[in-house]
Amino acid sequence: MPTQASPYTVSADPALLDLQRIHRWLSEESYWAEGRLLATVRASIEHSLAFGAYCDGAQVGLARVVTDRATFGWLCDVFVDQARRGRGVGKLLVEAVVARPVVRSLPLMVLATRDAHGLYEGHGDFHGIEKPYSWMVRRRSPPSADTLRATNGRSRRSSENGLAALSRSSSTMSGGRSGARPTASDYFLPLPLLPCWFCSSSSSWPPLTP
């Protein structure tokens, strides 16, 4: 709910997201996603935790977290509509993202920014990576819409098969406890390395060294 101090709200409900507006923002107005396909935007939202900022029922901002929900998160696609900038929407978005329980508990988060360092330092507890040379990046040209649809179809089928296999093996991984569910330590689903210049880490995370 909006407060007396701010008419803006933040929600992680994917049903509220305005996909067409998000696509226009990213593909036409952002410096990092120029030309991004609508199919790519749709797939990126489906496979991440997306936050929207709203005012009077209209979406005015976006932020995404790509995460395995256990060890790592990448904050990306943070965007505020040009007409709403300078009104605290970006601060509200970042604060809402890092306050989300599934995000707050992550030992390591990263992001990349060209000119918004103060925003993330002051409202998200991010700081510069101590040893940036320890990190690497792999880049490829974005896939076509047809390739993306085919890949996502295979990915969904693979995920469904993987979840079924995990379900069948849950009693084995949980030491034979009847009806017990596997814990995060029973299996690990890795994320690819991503470009990052800033990070937020807990004291329990190992140093960022080779």
Q: What is the band of 142 on the pLDDT scale with cuts at 50, 70, 90?
A: confident
Q: What is the band of 167 on the pLDDT scale with cuts at 50, 70, 90?
A: low
Computed over every residue of the chain, the mean pLDDT equals 81
The verdict on residue 29 lying in a domain is yes
- Higher-confidence position of 61 and 209: 61
- How many domains in the chain? 1
Q: Domain containing 128 — which CATH number?
A: 3.40.630.30
The verdict on residue 103 lying in a domain is yes
| Model pTM score | 0.71
The verdict on residue 130 lying in a domain is yes
The verdict on residue 46 lying in a domain is yes
The verdict on residue 129 lying in a domain is yes
Q: Which region among 30-39, 138-147, 193-202 has the lowest average model confidence (pLDDT)? A: 193-202
The model's pLDDT over 71-110, given as tens digits with 9 standing for 90+, comes to 999 999 999 999 999 999 999 999 999 999 999 999 999 9
Q: What is the band of 162 on the pLDDT scale with cuts at 50, 70, 90?
A: low
pLDDT at 210: 29
The verdict on residue 32 lying in a domain is yes
Is residue 1 scored above 60 in pLDDT?
no
Q: Which residues of 171-192 are buried (b: 16+ CB within 10 A; e: fewer)?
A: eebeeeeeeeeeeeeeeeeeee
Domain residues for the domain of 137 are 9-141+195-201
Pair 124, 98: CB distance under 8 Å = yes
